[in-house]
Amino acid sequence: MRSIPRWEIFEESFFSSGEYENPFVDVDLEAEFSCGERKYTVDGFFDGDGIWRVRFSPPEEGEWKYTTHSNLQELDGKTGEFACVHPISRGPLTLNPQFPNWFFRGDGTPQLIVNDGWFPHTANGHELPFEDLEFQQPSQADFDRFFDILADHGVNMVVGMSELYARQKSITDTSFVWPWKIVDAEKNLIDKERFNLDFYRRWEHNLAHAKRRDLFYVFEVLYDDSLIRPREWNNHPYNVKNGGWLESDSDLGVDVCWRNLFDVNNPMSRKYLGRYIKYTMARLACFSNILWEIGAENANLAVLPERMLKGAFMPVEPIAEWYKYWARRIALNDPYGRLRTFGDTTYHPLMVREQGNDFVLTQDPRNYRRDDEYYYYLAMRDYGKLYWQFNRPMVIGEMTSSNNGNYERERRMYWIAATSGYIMGRSDRHFAPVTGDKLTEELKFSLGGVPVIYDQLGILRSFIEEKVSFWRMEPMHDRCACDRLCCCLGETDREYLIYLPFGGKLEIDVPESQVRVLNPVTGQVRESVCKAGRFRFEQPQGEDVVLHIKVLPPASDRT
């Protein structure tokens, strides 16, 4: 009997010589897996050359059996078994109702997330070749290199951004976009009735590689934001001119798709997106490091200026209904309940509070005073407090693009987020992720090596994971008195993680405690013990510093 570790992937392949016009549509295949009273049904999928596959990621140890069901006789009634044994990982990301603002793992342990953010993407066409709008799309080797650099420095999350490649007039790598079969790469033309096997094989490789490096990937399932801008809609797979199924809103005087997409009852979208979700779940949901991003920058959709749509403003309600509908469809086809997010919700309670939005994915607030770092950091500190009330993890997909190359600011932003109860993301990088074997960022800013921010993120992760019970803590900035800006994550009279982005004088009332002081640039730590009462600390102005204060047990309980 085969042995599969818990949360890893069991796969069985079947061959069919049967005749069918379109295997993606004409043939149904599913398998029922059972272990005692537990039962799961997963969809099988066609993988070319008469090959059909069924994948399953066992959530529990024990002996599992399966039986297939199909409208094709050759695939029907197949049986088998395997043993699910002790896990080799801590499992997928999950949520814990007791500590809802933080991520946990399948084995019940808390997971600190250090997020890279949106996957770098060409977009604006600046002066350098790798910034050009038509620069080649990232290869599989690019993904491998990018993931390895992140993992080597303690980063463990990346957020997909494939839809922005709809800005490109042609497809330079058919295994990168789109999930539908490519008919004419030069013209971005698809066959909506069939799927792109090379695309899915690429993503199976990417996800497996990321999983080996303990990286979580937030996979963009639906492509929404592209439909509001003509330069993306013109090359988009949903566009009927490119083989898709949606017409432009020409009656509104705009050459983009708008109302047609967010019509939750649109039969064409239900048909083609429904098929796509089912097929995608069958192939990829088994990867325990995947999370589903339902769209991307949907905040742009809900607050789009009227001038862009020439008076055709769309309120948030129908958009929220659209996201809720597809979140439910994903849940029906994903037997493992991988976490979902509604792309970029910003502060829309209809989007944020919805049950299908398991964690918040958003951008920085963009309403700070950019000419004054104090107010910039204050806005980011208060952003965490604003979102804390929603009782779910909050992840920043990108900071403002003006931070590109400003690693001093990026480091401070990550620590502000960590001590304000949420997860930061890197600057919006409008260039290719990798050029040759180097991060493109190295070339753009003439760095001569991996950007220093990655070493500093490694310092952040190791310091917090070593001794900080972050998942028990919440923002409590008012607990401290400081002559400059102070960020404080804490659990009253037990533990505090404090960050001073500008240095300055700090005072806080604590019982007798152990104090660790971290230099976030070098990683140097010094330790001391403070007596019960008013703890005072001073850091030179302009030099940021991190303090971890942990209350000591009574002297009689110490060993």
Strand 93-95, strand 103-105: pairing:
antiparallel
Q: Mean pLDDT, to the nearest integer, of 78-99?
A: 98
Query: Residues 368, 515: one domain?
Result: no
* Nearest to 54, CA basis, from 72, 92, 23, 80: 80
Query: Residues 68, 142: one domain?
Result: no
Residue where one domain finishes, among candidates 52, 85, 118: 85
Q: Flag whether 95 is in a domain.
A: no
Query: Residues 168, 284: one domain?
Result: yes
Q: How confident is the model at residue 309 (pLDDT cuts 50, 70, 90)?
A: very low
Q: How confident is the model at residue 230 (pLDDT cuts 50, 70, 90)?
A: confident
Q: Flag whether 102 is in a domain.
A: no
Least confident piece of the model among 89-103, 164-178, 223-237 = 223-237
Least confident piece of the model among 33-37, 63-67, 113-117, 361-365 = 361-365
Residue where one domain finishes, among candidates 433, 467, 501: 467
Q: What is the structure's pLDDT at 310?
A: 47
- Burial bucket for residue 98 (CB in 10 Å: 0-12, 13-18, 19+): exposed
Residue 298 has pLDDT above 80, yes or no: no
Q: What is the structure's pLDDT at 301?
A: 60
Q: What is the structure's pLDDT at 125?
A: 66
226 contacts: CB under 8 Å, gap ≥ 6: 163, 164, 166, 167, 232, 233, 236
Query: Residues 457, 485: one domain?
Result: no
Q: Mean pLDDT, to the nearest integer, of 392-419?
A: 90
What is the tens place of the pLDDT at every residue in 40-78?
A: 999 999 999 999 999 999 999 999 999 999 999 999 999
Q: How confident is the model at residue 20 (pLDDT cuts 50, 70, 90)?
A: confident
Query: Residues 228, 358: one domain?
Result: yes
Q: What is the structure's pLDDT at 288?
A: 98
Query: Residues 463, 493: one domain?
Result: no
Q: How far is the CA of 402 from the CAs of 42, 114, 331, 407, 429, in angstroms?
A: 45, 21, 37, 11, 10
Q: How confident is the model at residue 401 (pLDDT cuts 50, 70, 90)?
A: low
Residue 305 has pLDDT above 50, yes or no: no
Query: Mean pLDDT in the chain?
Result: 91
For residue 294, give the 3-state DSSP assignment. Answer: coil
Q: Which domain holds residue 283?
A: 107-467
Q: Check residues 381 and 258 and name the one with the higher pLDDT.
A: 381
Q: How confident is the model at residue 353 (pLDDT cuts 50, 70, 90)?
A: confident
What is the tens place of the pLDDT at every residue in 139-148?
A: 999 999 999 9
The Cα angle at residue 485 between residues 480 and 489, in degrees rounded to 5: 50
128-132, 298-302, 499-503 — most confident range: 499-503
Q: Flag whether 171 is in a domain.
A: yes
Q: What is the structure's pLDDT at 44?
A: 98
From CA 320, how far away is CA 304, in angstroms rounded?
15
Q: What is the structure's pLDDT at 147?
A: 98
Residue 442 has pLDDT above 90, yes or no: yes
Q: Flag whether 150 is in a domain.
A: yes
List the CATH number of the domain containing 461. 3.20.20.80
Q: Mean pLDDT, to the nearest integer, of 296-314?
A: 55
Residue 299 has pLDDT above 70, yes or no: no
Query: Residues 454, 531: one domain?
Result: no
How many domains does the chain fold into?
A: 3
Q: What is the dihedral sign for C-alpha 357, 123, 455, 152?
A: positive
List the CATH number of the domain containing 22. 2.60.40.10
Q: Flag whether 101 is in a domain.
A: no
For residue 255, give the 3-state DSSP assignment. Answer: coil
Q: What is the structure's pLDDT at 257?
A: 75
Residue 89 has pLDDT above 90, yes or no: yes
The widest CA-to-CA distance across the chain, in whole angstroms, is: 81
Q: What is the structure's pLDDT at 497?
A: 98
Residue 371 has pLDDT above 80, yes or no: no
Residue 284 has pLDDT above 70, yes or no: yes
What is the tens place of the pLDDT at every residue in 150-208?
A: 999 999 999 998 888 888 989 999 999 999 999 999 999 999 999 999 999 999 999 99
270 contacts: CB under 8 Å, gap ≥ 6: none
Q: What is the structure's pLDDT at 227?
A: 66
Residue 326 has pLDDT above 70, yes or no: yes
Spatial strand order of the sheet with 340-341 comes to 115-118, 157-159, 216-220, 290-293, 340-341
DSSP state of 485: -
Q: Check residues 459 and 406 and name the one with the higher pLDDT.
A: 459
Count of alpha carbons within 13 angstroms of residue 534, beta-carbon side: 6
Q: Mean pLDDT, to the nearest integer, of 374-381?
A: 92
Query: Residues 277, 359: one domain?
Result: yes
Q: How confident is the model at residue 382 (pLDDT cuts 50, 70, 90)?
A: very high
Query: Residues 371, 416: one domain?
Result: yes
What is the tens place of the pLDDT at every residue in 253-264?
A: 566 777 788 889
Q: Flag whether 229 is in a domain.
A: yes
Q: What is the structure's pLDDT at 224?
A: 78
List the CATH number of the domain containing 492. 2.60.40
Least confident piece of the model among 102-116, 200-214, 372-386, 493-507 = 372-386
For residue 11, give the 3-state DSSP assignment. Answer: strand
Query: Residues 135, 208: one domain?
Result: yes
Q: Flag whether 137 is in a domain.
A: yes
Q: How confident is the model at residue 485 (pLDDT cuts 50, 70, 90)?
A: very high
In the block, which residue shows the tokens 């949420």?
422
Q: Flag whether 78 is in a domain.
A: yes
Query: Residues 422, 533: one domain?
Result: no
Query: Residues 353, 486: one domain?
Result: no
Residue where one domain finishes, among candidates 85, 120, 148: 85
